[in-house]
């Protein structure tokens, strides 16, 4: 008994010390090492809890690693277990408590794979899915209410008094002037939602450049779709979508940032959607090398050649009708009538593929950053976009900024024992600790875990 009490006191003192030490001091003191707390979740049988992990590596049932986590005020943790259509609650000690919800169409159920996204007023956690359905539950898992939005959602930030700041996006259709073409682009919106009244207000909008064009949209017989290339004609690595799409970071104050991955530019907006200031990230982006160009060339060549081979095999496939409506028995039906178009498209790409070897064909650098996280002390952590070699070493470069764009510290995060994915939904910083869904290296059993890391130098 004395030993248990002594260990508890030591654990409490350690937690108190970590909580008292400012995160900024840790960032300034050199590389931040993430050391797993082996007592956290010690009673969990990960092989049983995450037993669908290996299935998700073989088939598309919702990746087992795509789990979002949020922390409640009392230290308990909620996790999206998407491929089970459930939300799981873990106690402050990291041990599993209960599963909430199930697959279905009732208000207390989830018709599509849910994500858990935050806690409102300290007493309701909420989920969403790809169709804008939001479900609210109290911290014991009892259903509170449902709200359905008419736009897709990308990010959430609970505010006070039942308010939530939401990043939404809607596919926007425009006619191309002087043509019969239709161009599709994304409209990104920032919305304030009152969960009690259901009132929504758009406070900001910005349009992304169009990425898809429908030729002769008015004619069903002759219309076709094509991708709109970048205006500068350059090849972007990893792809142009990452560069052109704005990145928003929503703050507890109701203010927000808009980031540009291509140029490293940042806009700081107030709670009414008006610009306060702007600055540029103090980052030198990673240059694209000739090695990168050649690797991209080989990757595209293999991928396109494989697609052509699949299309040819499908084109040659036939099925014999057994009297389906509108046919006569014995009729030969082409199984994949669009295979010829796929083959022509692939062959066209291969005819121009030598351009991919030329370094001058590429936009000169990778994106300015990969992810941005706000810690619980309000520091803005910008993770630089790293090279493949740096990713393999599990070292992640980070710059800490304040809300005015002033650089506070430059550091790196290092984890020796786990493979990590840094994103605000799977990497939560609270009171000197990091909570994450991570994979244990060199594991003989289930590698996936819910882990609490202590931040140290």
pLDDT tens for 26-75 read 999 989 999 999 999 999 999 999 887 776 555 555 555 568 999 999 99
Q: 3-state DSSP call for residue 38?
A: coil
CB proximity list for 236: less than 8 A, separation 6 or greater: 230, 242, 243, 362, 363
Q: What is the pLDDT of residue 87?
A: 96
Is residue 206 within 8 Å of 247, Cβ to Cβ? Answer: no
Residue 152 to residue 130: CA distance in whole angstroms = 6
Phi–psi pair at 144, nearest 5 degrees: -110, -55
Alpha helices in 209-286 (DSSP H): 240-244
- CA-angle at 222, arms to 217 and 223, nearest 5°: 30
Residue 185 to residue 208: CA distance in whole angstroms = 6
Q: 3-state DSSP call for residue 62?
A: coil
Q: What is the pLDDT of residue 140?
A: 96
Q: What is the pLDDT of residue 320?
A: 45
Residue 397 to residue 453: CA distance in whole angstroms = 18
Q: What is the pLDDT of residue 196?
A: 97
Q: Which ranges of the chain have pLDDT less than 70?
A: 1-21, 55-66, 315-338, 387-394, 424-425
Residue 336 to residue 314: CA distance in whole angstroms = 6
Sequence spans of domains, the chain: 20-288+362-456, 294-360
Phi–psi pair at 126, nearest 5 degrees: -135, 155
Q: What is the pLDDT of residue 388?
A: 59
Q: What is the pLDDT of residue 109?
A: 92
Is residue 79 within 8 Å of 68, Cβ to Cβ? Answer: yes
Strands (E), 149-181: 152-158, 163-175
Token pair listed for 373:
């996280």
Q: Which long-range contacts (CB under 8 A, 24 or more apart) does 401-406 make?
A: 401/281, 402/378, 403/251, 403/255, 403/268, 403/378, 404/268, 404/277, 404/279, 405/266, 405/268, 405/277, 405/278, 405/279
If one counts every other C-beta atom within 10 angstroms of the C-beta of residue 295, the result is 14
- Reported as type and span, the H/E element at residue 310 is helix 290-315
Q: What is the pLDDT of residue 387?
A: 63
Q: What is the pLDDT of residue 10?
A: 35
First-residue to last-residue Cα distance in the chain: 33
Q: What is the pLDDT of residue 176?
A: 82
Fold of domain 20-288+362-456: Neuraminidase (2.120.10)
Residue 242 preceded by cis peptide, ω within 30: no
């Amino acid at each position: 008994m004395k030993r248990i009490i002594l260990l508890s006191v030591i654990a409490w003192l350690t937690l108190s010390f970590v909580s008292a030490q400012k995160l900024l001091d840790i960032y300034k003191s050199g590389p931040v090492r993430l050391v797993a707390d082996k007592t956290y979740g010690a009673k969990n049988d990960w092989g049983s809890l995450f037993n669908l992990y290996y299935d998700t590596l073989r088939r598309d049932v919702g990746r087992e690693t795509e789990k979002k986590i949020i922390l409640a005020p009392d230290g308990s943790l909620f996790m999206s277990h998407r491929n089970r259509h459930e939300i799981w609650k873990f106690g402050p000690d990291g041990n599993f408590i209960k599963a909430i919800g199930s697959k279905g169409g009732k208000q207390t159920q989830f018709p599509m794979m849910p994500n858990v996204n935050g806690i409102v007023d300290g007493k309701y956690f909420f989920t969403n899915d790809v169709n804008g359905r939001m479900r609210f539950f109290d911290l014991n898992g009892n259903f509170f209410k449902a709200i359905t939005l008419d736009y897709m959602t990308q990010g959430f930030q609970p505010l006070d008094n039942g308010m939530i700041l939401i990043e939404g996006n809607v596919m926007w259709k425009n006619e191309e002037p002087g043509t019969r073409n239709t161009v599709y682009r994304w409209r990104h919106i920032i919305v304030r939602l009152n969960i009690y009244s259901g009132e929504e207000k758009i406070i900001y909008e910005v349009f992304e450049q169009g990425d898809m064009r429908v030729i002769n949209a008015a004619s069903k017989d002759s219309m076709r779709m094509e991708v709109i290339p970048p205006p500068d004609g350059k090849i972007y690595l990893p792809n142009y979508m990452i560069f052109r799409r704005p990145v928003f970071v929503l703050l507890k104050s109701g203010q927000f940032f808009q980031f540009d991955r291509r140029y490293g530019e940042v806009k700081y907006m107030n709670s009414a959607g008006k610009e306060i200031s702007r600055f540029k990230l103090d980052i030198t982006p990673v240059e694209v090398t000739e090695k990168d160009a050649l690797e991209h060339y080989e990757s595209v060549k293999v991928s396109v050649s494989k697609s052509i081979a699949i299309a040819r095999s499908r084109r040659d496939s036939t099925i014999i009708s057994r009297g389906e409506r509108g046919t006569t028995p014995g009729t030969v039906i082409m199984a994949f009538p669009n295979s010829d178009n796929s083959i022509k498209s692939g062959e066209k790409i291969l005819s121009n593929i030598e351009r991919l070897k030329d370094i001058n064909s590429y936009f000169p650098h990778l994106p300015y950053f990969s992810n941005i996280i706000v810690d619980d002390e309000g520091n803005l952590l910008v993770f630089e976009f790293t090279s493949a070699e740096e990713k393999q070493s599990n070292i992640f470069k980070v710059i800490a900024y304040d809300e005015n764009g002033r650089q506070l510290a430059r550091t790196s995060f290092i984890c020796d024992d786990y493979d990590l994915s840094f994103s605000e939904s799977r990497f939560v910083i609270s009171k000197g600790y990091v909570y994450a869904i991570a994979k244990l290296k060199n594991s003989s059993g289930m590698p996936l875990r819910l882990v609490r890391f202590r931040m140290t130098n």
